[in-house]
Amino acid sequence: MICVPKSPRRLFYKWTTWGVEIEYPSDIPTPIPVITVNSVQVTLPPTVPGYFQFYVSQPYEPNRWPTPQPAINNYLLANFYSHQVPTFYTIPRWGGAYPHCHVRITTYNQWGQPYTWRGQAGVAYTCGSLWMIGGGTQAWRCDLLVGSDRIINPAVNTACPTWRLAGGICPPDTITCGDECMPCDSLVASIQALMV
C-alpha cells in the first residue's frame, strides 16, 4: 500500500495583534517541539547625544591639610554632555599612604572628537568607585521559542507574540496513518482483497 505524506506543518506568528503574520522558515516536525514565549531583561543603549553624570567615592584622609577629609560616598563629580557614550576609568596615584586614584573621563563632540577630563587637581578618589548615570537602561523583551530556536522580538516592553500552526493534515480522500496518509481507495481495495 502506498502512503502519501501529510502537508507540511507550518508556524505563523505575529509580534503585535495588528501586525503582519510572519511564517517560520522551516517545517515543524513530528513530534511537535515545545512552542512558547519567553521574557528576558535586556539592556538598552543610552540615548545620545545626552547628559551623563559621574559619581565617585572619596577616601578618608586624616592627614589632609588644613583639615582632614571625611570619607564621601557617591559624590557627584561631573556632569557632561556627549555625542557618544563616554568612556571612563581611574588611574592609580603613586606615592602617599592611601590607595587613591585619579579620574579620566572622555566625552565626544558632534564630530566624534574626544575630550578627556582629568578630575580635580589635588583631589584623590577611591579606586574603582567611579560610575556613570545615563548609561543603558533595562527593559523587557518577549521572544518566541520554537524548541531551542529563539526568535528575537524586534521591540521591547510590548506584549508577547501570538502564534498558530497550520498544515500537517492529510489531503482529501485519505486517512491518517501515523505521520502519513493512506489513500482511501487503496485501503478499500486492500480490505476487499482480504475478504475474497
Summarised one tens digit per residue, pLDDT across range 110-151 is: 999 999 987 654 566 777 788 888 766 788 999 999 999 999
Rounded distance between C-alpha atoms, residue 81 and residue 52, angstroms: 6
When pLDDT is cut at 50, 70 and 90, the band that residue 48 belongs to is confident
Summarised one tens digit per residue, pLDDT across range 70-83 is: 777 888 888 889 99
Global model pTM greater than 0.75: no
When pLDDT is cut at 50, 70 and 90, the band that residue 173 belongs to is confident
